[in-house]
Structure 1
Amino acid sequence: MTDVGATMLAEQAERWAGEPVATLREHWDRESVYAFDRIPSTNDLARELAEGGAPSGTIVLCRQQTAGRGRAGRSWSSPAGAGLYLSMVFRPRAATVPPLVTVVAGVDLARELNRRFPGAGVAVKWPNDLMARERKLGGILAEMTRDGEKGVFLVVGVGLNVEAGRLPDDVKGAVAFADCVGPTRLVDVADAVVAGLERRLPRVPTSLDAGALDELDRLDWLRNRWVEHRLSDREPAIGLAAGIAPDGALLLRPRAGALRRVVAGSIALGGG
């Protein structure tokens, strides 16, 4: 572990979201729960812990990230008290290529949040966003690393807006969980997120079966919307989002031509 990681571990908080960390460890039935008031990135620390042998199911939480990251290296605003910032370590049996991991994680998170908080209306936007009330509620960052002869480990981070009044003014087009379901204990949201991530990620599927595709279809925020697919410096491709393939690829039906499979790049509404 780097000196920075060791320093962070020495600064662990005794409480998180009003709960003693010891209580969280007992509730989640594991010792490997690490909570902090302020660190650069939960994913970065989780990766360091995994490199040091941390077991599958290790959880890293913080109240504030100073260098939170989203997909493609984008910054993720993580002010204190505004959201849930949580990363988990998994040790799947084999490497799984994105975007299947984030699609699976997104469906399971949406399913669990909707089950526990009626009226939340959480949906999945390919490849790694959670949506509610037609706005962005959160995001998922999955990073797979080969761990020498030990196989692979997977770090999945979740950033979820919880308290709207604490989000910075420069966060555009976002919605907070409290806007959807009213005041909510952060620890209850975290509990739902942990349960969602643990539904399938310990044994990441290599493809989605018919039942999983049906469930995804019900939660697919993009389906039947006109979108623009942007990849590097190419001209945007415009098409109708036609669902998700078994390997997690987005299916895009252009105005003319054959159905396309999209596995990389960004998606924005438009072009209809």
Structure 2
Amino acid sequence: MLPQQADRWAGTSAAALRERWDRESVYAFGSIPSTNDVARELAGAGAPAGSIVLCHEQTAGRGRRGRAWRSPAGAGLYLSMLFRLGTEIVPPLVTVVAGVDVARELNRRFPGLGVGVKWPNDLMARDRKVGGILSESAGGGNAEGLLVIGVGVNVEPGRLPEEVHRAVSLAECVGPVSLIDVADAVVAGLERRLPAVPNTLDSASLDELDRFDWLRNRWVEHRIPDREPAVGLAAGIAPDGALLLRPRGGALRRVVAGSIEVGGS
């Protein structure tokens, strides 16, 4: 059962949001555990592609590998969108494509922001995390092409928890911004390529990705549970979305899983 929907989000009714974004399904909530979880429930009930879930606060927001995403009321944008791709989902390509397109749109709408993408799912500004993306299959396995993309963006600094010391907000980077304008940017970014996301990136897409690649030419540690970290130089992104890592004195390798931490030079 869905939670009780809110009458308004960011001062705007759900009906006005549906008209604003030209779609039949926009669901706005006050406080819910996770927009991705609600979007997955809607997908199971037959919600159409393009359905959007928004909330003022997430009580159990998460990132990759189950990490908590702090989502206090009024501090940021918490939005998920449903896609029915009709093709096999290629991780981490969909996450990388979503990150680049959302970053591109945020930069276009908020001059001077300078958002980049830290592989595979972090949005970075001023060398700190300003947002994150979580891609999840919405049921039945990847081959069904049913996908939920969740986006969290820090908007107001004063409302972020004190323990989030490595984060930054849009307001700190470019001054006060409207939450609805941030949502416009995220919706436009997600819809740029994801409704027909390719299985591989062409040369023009790779060139664009290179411009947004925050990790490129940084020394990083690649961490996988129960293994020693591998130190190498981030050398770009492969056409299938894998991170290219050049270890000291070793051959170029592809990274498709695990976590990446800057440092280790």
1:151 Cα deviation from its structure 2 partner: 2.9
Q: Which residue of 2 aligns with 1:115?
A: 108
How do 1:17-32 residues align onto structure 2 when only pairs under 5 Å count? Answer: 17-32=10-25
* Superposition map of 1:88-127 within 5 A: 88-127=81-120
Q: What does residue 242 of structure 2 align with?
A: 249
1:233-272 matches, within 5 Å, as 233-272=226-265
Distance apart, 1:147 and its partner CA: 4.3
In the alignment, the residues of structure 1 paired with residue 148 and residue 207 of structure 2 have an alpha-carbon distance, to the nearest angstrom, of 27
Aligned letter for 2:110?
A: F
Name the % identity.
74
Count of residue pairs brought into register by the alignment: 264
| 1:174 aligned partner | 167
2:191 matched to which residue of 1?
198
- SS of residue matched to 2:204: helix
2:47 aligned to which of 16, 30, 54: 54
Query: How far did residue 26 of structure 1 move?
Result: 0.7
Separation in 1 of the partners of 2:52 and 2:138? 17
Structure 1 contact 21–35 (Cα < 8 Å) conserved = yes
The match for 2:201 among 199, 208, 211 is 208
The answer for the alignment partner of 1:77 in structure 2 is 70
The CA deviation string for residues 138-177 of structure 1, in whole angstroms up to 9 with x for no partner, is 11000024448x9331000001100001001111200001
Contact 2:44 2:139 in 1 (8 A): no
Distance 1:145 1:30 in 2: 20
1:146–1:20: structure 2 CA closer, same or farther, 3 Å change rule? closer
Alignment equivalent of 2:213, drawn from 220, 223, 228: 220
Structure 2: gaps spanning 5 or more residues = none
Deviation at 1:97, TM superposition (A): 2.5
Please, what TM-score do these two structures have when normalized by structure 2?
0.97
Question: Which of residues 75, 79, 84 in structure 2 aligns to 1:86?
Answer: 79
Unaligned runs of 5+ in 1: none
User: Contact 2:43–2:138 at 8 Å: present in 1 too?
Assistant: no
Q: How far does the alpha carbon of each residue in 1:29-70 deviate from its partner, in whole angstroms, 9 at most, with x for none?
A: 112000011101000000000011101100000000011111
